[in-house]
Chains A and B, each alone.
Chain A
Amino acid sequence: MAFSLHGVHVPHRKHTQDKPVVRMDAPNTVVIPMVMHIGKPARLIVKVGDFVKVGTKIAEADGAVSAPIHSSVSGKVVKIQDFLLSNGAKAPAVVIESDGEMASDETIKAPVVDSKESLMAALTESGIVGLGGAGFPTHVKFNVDPSRIEYLVINGAECEPYVTSDTVTMVERGADMAYALRVLSKYLGIKNVIIGIESNKKTAVASMQKLSEEVKDACTLQVKVLPAVYPQGGEKVLIYHTTGKVVPVGKLPIDVGCIVVNCTTLATIGSYLQTGMPLVEKCVTVDGGAVKNPQNVLAPIGTSMAEMFAFCGGLTVEPAKLIYGGPMMGLTVPDDTAPVIKNTNAILALTEKEARLPKTTACIRCGACTNTCPFGLAPAAISKALEKKDAEALEELSVNACMECGCCSFVCPANRPLVQNNKLAKAFLREEKAKEEAKA
């Protein structure tokens, strides 16, 4: 059966799309948490007082699903402190005082890649994780039987308002992406590559079409221009719109023969393979009504929001919300000391007016939530089932299919906390399942 995946037209607000990326000066200090990826926290290998340089490894990957972490500045480790993660848990973070030199570690050199094994080893050492949002370690994603990979899907949709860091990466770093594609296709046998880009990113589309010509000898790169409908960049949405494949709930893209990487991840793989410099800096969109000079900034990982804003001319008014990521799925932070981490694609300082949401009123059963949900869920019914703590009904309503894109809450005329309830419902089902397993 063919699906027509719905979504919403969000305001684009891509103010920074056509501005060049600016490299930031060395920040005074960086705070680098040991959790910037999905999986086990990295294991610290430096101590207070150690001197490090840009690219010096400061933490090892711990176990199979983890990623090493490298210093993003040159200077001295001054503190190991507790860091509050977005999920409420705590992890250690290394505080490094920069000497302002930004001197690179002398041991850094391009990795030797001549087989699938050496490629995997290089990707593991690179510290690269999924930069589109989730931060899944890249070496884990690619470490599959190459015969299972039918398509490599590159995510260049970038459907969140404000955020343009992927767009500018596609425009400016086509060469790095080309290098990565050649290596991946050579050692993983990847032949079919599709990049999905929303139609409102003309410069990125042009750049990727050029790239497609360049890599013709190595693989077929198909540039798919997709309607600018949020959440076009949702992994399962993108796979469906580029390959026509449906990823079943609870399964991974590879189960239908796809690997999805974000375009910035791909560019970072390319630059690492050429230079050996691990993932220590990130292109971040700094925007929001409170920011004086919104732009894309190439910043050392660990730079605080405060220093980022200062670099962009400071804040013109007191912000009401500081957000990691876009306004549809981003996380708010309690203060501006929050650092840029590996998968930060934007930091936003929203004004009172931008952050103002309408009052929540009674559900009028208009059906906008279910008619907007890309996956056809019934958020209003899920909220009701959650209220009754009815696990059976929640299973029946397939709440676990929810990707938490927020379309339902965005369109709700009563501004009900629908996606928020979906998240709670998923957590509730996990608890119920754990309880049952404990009993059994």
Chain B
Amino acid sequence: MNNKLKLAVSPHIHSGQSTAGIMRDVIISLLPATIAGTVIFGLRSLLVVAICVAACVGFEALFNFIIKKDQTIGDFSAAVTGLLLALNLPANIPLWQCVVGALFAIVVVKCLFGGIGCNPVNPAITARVFMLIAFGSMTVQAFPTVVDTVSSATPLSLGEGAAMPDLLDLFLGLNGGAIGETCVLALVLGFVYLLVRRVITWHIPVAYIGTVFVCSFFMEGMDFTSALAMILSGGLFIGAIFMATDYVTSPATAAGKLIFGLGAGLITFVIRYFGVYPEGVSFAILFMNILTPYIDSWTRHKVFGVGGKKA
């Protein structure tokens, strides 16, 4: 008969799930935020997105080419990093800074550590922190172009005594900030999509945002509205939903995810209230990224039939 029969160890079928499929879903989930950012901050937002995505994909392709590694841009993870980076930048950022940020994210944080799956920290978050420190560009806030009234800066950088912006404005994103971070409505839509597609679970975002809410609630003297304004401001939603849930740099089990979210929430809260920077989301996620291998080893599932009392 034929000599073409394959011999292989089982299983002989596969779910069809792939890295590229997951990344495609993440990109789709970020589209509402991208569109909202463009509406709120103008067409230049799209330019920033395009430059970041092209630079990230380009740098990864170039790096793989130079070190003669199999091309990996087809898994769309570089595109996701580019998109996330862009959505974390203000629309009026100098374009050359976007390119430097992409270089840092892809080459320094991702490729030099071995590429996808090997980076110890989230590339987009780390690049954002790098740019914040190197350029101070994040303090140059973009302002909404769709509202006529005097626009506010991100509420977190308002001084003491300034009036809190309207909660509905915060929910819709009609306030200053990075391209993709202000419109909470769009971010929540993306969250729902990711949950429905089972790309992520609820644990990290809910634990993270919940912790910030509860801490702020007590800090603000049990004021519900102020606590709500606190979670709707800054980069909390985009960070909690899209950056803290990065597979590579967050724990695998539900228990680990809850610890990760709780820790990130506490750090964010502390930086927001007591730190020198107005925003703590990036630092919090970065710090929890570093703890992830430890959290993973503390929170493995109990193995069925091993040790302990029988059920």
Contact = CB atoms under 8 A, between A and B. Distances in A.
Interface of A: 1-3, 5, 8, 10-11, 161, 236, 240, 244-249, 251, 256, 306, 318-323, 327-336, 350, 354-355, 357-358, 361-368, 370-371, 373-378, 380-381, 397-398, 401, 404, 406, 409-415, 417, 419-420, 423
A251 B16 CA distance: 35
B17 A332 contact: no
B21 interface: yes
A389 B252 CA distance: 23
Nearest to B300: A378
B311 A420 contact: no
A1 B308 contact: yes
Interface centre among A10, A330, A376 (most CB of B within 10 A): A376
B15 interface: yes
B68 interface: no
A399 to B, nearest CB: 9
B248 interface: yes
Interface of B: 1-2, 4-19, 21-22, 72, 75, 77, 115-118, 247-249, 251-254, 296, 300-306, 308-311
Given A321-B5, A361-B19, A354 B303 contact: no
A415 B21 CA distance: 13
B64 to A, nearest CB: 12
Given A10-B13, A328-B10, A364-B248, A246 B303 contact: no
26 contacts: A245-B310, A246-B304, A246-B310, A249-B306, A321-B5, A321-B8, A327-B11, A330-B12, A335-B5, A358-B14, A362-B117, A364-B22, A364-B77, A367-B252, A367-B253, A376-B300, A376-B301, A378-B301, A380-B252, A381-B296, A381-B300, A410-B11, A410-B13, A413-B21, A414-B18, A419-B11
A328 B13 contact: yes
Contact of A5 (B8, B249, B304): B304
Contacts of B13: 10-11, 161, 327-328, 354, 357, 410
Contacts of B309: 1
B253 A328 contact: no
B305 to A, nearest CB: 5
Contacts of B15: 8, 410-411
B117 A306 contact: no
A406 B6 contact: no
A269 B5 CA distance: 36
